Chain A
Amino acid sequence: MFNINTSELGESNIYCQTHNHWIPLDPANRHYQEVLDAIIAEGAACFDGEIPAELQAAADEKQFNQQLVAYTNAIEKLAQYVLADGREQVTEMQDSHIQLTDSDGQLQYDSDGSPIYEQVEVITVTAIEPLPATVTETQFDSDGEATVVEVPNPLITKDNEERAAAQAVIDATPQAVIDAA
């Protein structure tokens, strides 16, 4: 439980009743950051009296920045290919360095006077095979007898869990944070 202590000379501290700490209003102080974390997690319940507006604003800003980082990371995670599905190759037609010529052997230009190059197909995203859905694992019973069993591929399981967690983060992100991303 915290409260604000202001001396007769005007300097203010956050007093932590649990640890007998006087915490300065300094963002570089780790206990000050812990006070902000407590305000984010517990709200007014962690404060004896009203949370000063300056502290509440600092806590709101910290929470906003944390949500922004979490949202950005979640978007990046979902943008990656699904390990169970693999990735298809993507190609696109791009200019080569060979300028086209007409039947008379003259270099070709478009209506703007820019050179017209021969088009070639370029791989922009390489294909990746899907991971096998299961892998074999040797398990031992209480007698030390080995049995080879098929289990779900742990890499796919982990990928699915991370994607679900990322989607949960996105779903819980406030609109103001999404707009700022």
Chain B
Amino acid sequence: MVVKVTKPEINVREKISELDKPSSVAGEAMLRAETPQEQFNLIGAGRRNILINGGFTVSQRGDYTTAASTSGGSYSLDRWNTDISGVTATIQNNTVDLPNGTEAKTAKLAATSSATGYLQLRQKIEVESWMQKRDVTLSAWVKSNSTYPRLRIEGAAVGSNEDGTQTHSGNGGWEFLTFTTTLADGFGAFHVGVVLWNGSTVSISSGDYIEIANVQLELGKVATPFEHRSYGEELALCQRYYWTDHLYGQGYQQANLDYSEIIQHPVEMRANPTRTLIGSLNYSSNLSALILASSPGTNGKNFTRAYGRATGNGYIEFGQAFSLDAEL
């Protein structure tokens, strides 16, 4: 039996012209990727932003819509820590229109005195082992009247600290800065931020500022569009590190015995938190000052006990604001 096989003809000219199809740098990189994981990393698929509150939507510590003074090492907008040397400064939470046509909330750190020093807004990230040796890209919209602002990674970069090479032009407009690097093999601290300096301290004048929006840290070598999360989701992420609420209690108590109330934390906190009573005890009657402590027999990450001693037999009633802080 004779079997006749036919093969479709190939138009060589057509095939060659296909090779000339226009594609961008990103498209080329996608085509050249050797594994699905590499393609995944290139486009930043999946949950992307490693930073929490990179959009500055959560502010449990207060309303910073007007500039409030801040100091080095303090927290204001959730998860964001100010790192200041030499000068005094204020922090402010604004709402702006970015050049890409989107509206965004921002954090603005402005010097209120003149000196040699630096200004930085940074986030301290809880280190996890999977972060070691990974390519990461930090991106942010940055506005400034100084030519020094740049992106920065502290602790986790090869050689510990590393500054991005892009700097703001200092023209007072919004500019999109990105910084890609490979994290070190083994690190104990991981801070990322936007800093006004040039590798060492610089001359800062009162009024110099950095304002940042849509800050994102993601795996891979490409900055992808900012990942927006719902307020509820962002708040829950922040509450692992800090949350605040009001206590309220009432009842009848015998003199010299403790009144006690267990507060369940909304999420497990990073560490046993520092517990702080804010302001004075309200509506109290028949009760000494409250004390906050971890719940006995626990690691303190999930429960807090508030207790106070009744000063006489009878009705007690109290209300007081408090905060729990497990920030890095």
Contact = CB atoms under 8 A, between A and B. Distances in A.
B296 A10 contact: yes
B296 A11 contact: yes
A8 to B, nearest CB: 6
A112 B212 CA distance: 71
User: Which of A5, A10, A22, A31 is most buried by chain B, counting CB atoms within 10 A of its CB?
Assistant: A22
A48 to B, nearest CB: 16
A10 B277 CA distance: 21
Nearest to A12: B293
Interface stretch (B53-61, B149-157, B247-255, B267-275): B267-275
Given A7-B307, A8-B258, A30-B327, A22 B292 contact: yes
Contact of B328 (A5, A19, A30): A30
A11 B293 contact: yes
Contact of A28 (B258, B270, B278, B295): B270
Interface residues of B, number: 23
Interface in A1-31: 5, 7-11, 13, 19-24, 26, 28-31
B33 to A, nearest CB: 40
B293 A29 contact: no
A23 B328 CA distance: 14
Contacts of B276: 19-22
Contacts, number: 56
A21 B271 contact: no
A29 B273 contact: yes
B120 interface: no
Contacts of A23: 274
B45 interface: no
Given A7-B296, A11-B295, 18 more contacts: A5-B293, A7-B293, A7-B305, A7-B307, A13-B293, A13-B294, A20-B276, A21-B274, A23-B274, A24-B273, A26-B271, A26-B272, A26-B300, A28-B272, A28-B326, A29-B271, A31-B274, A31-B325
Interface of A: 5, 7-11, 13, 19-24, 26, 28-31
The 4 closest A-B pairs by CB, nearest first: A28-B271, A24-B272, A26-B272, A31-B274
22 contacts: A5-B293, A7-B291, A7-B293, A7-B307, A9-B305, A11-B295, A19-B276, A20-B278, A21-B274, A21-B275, A22-B275, A22-B276, A22-B291, A22-B293, A26-B271, A28-B270, A28-B272, A28-B326, A29-B326, A30-B274, A30-B327, A30-B328
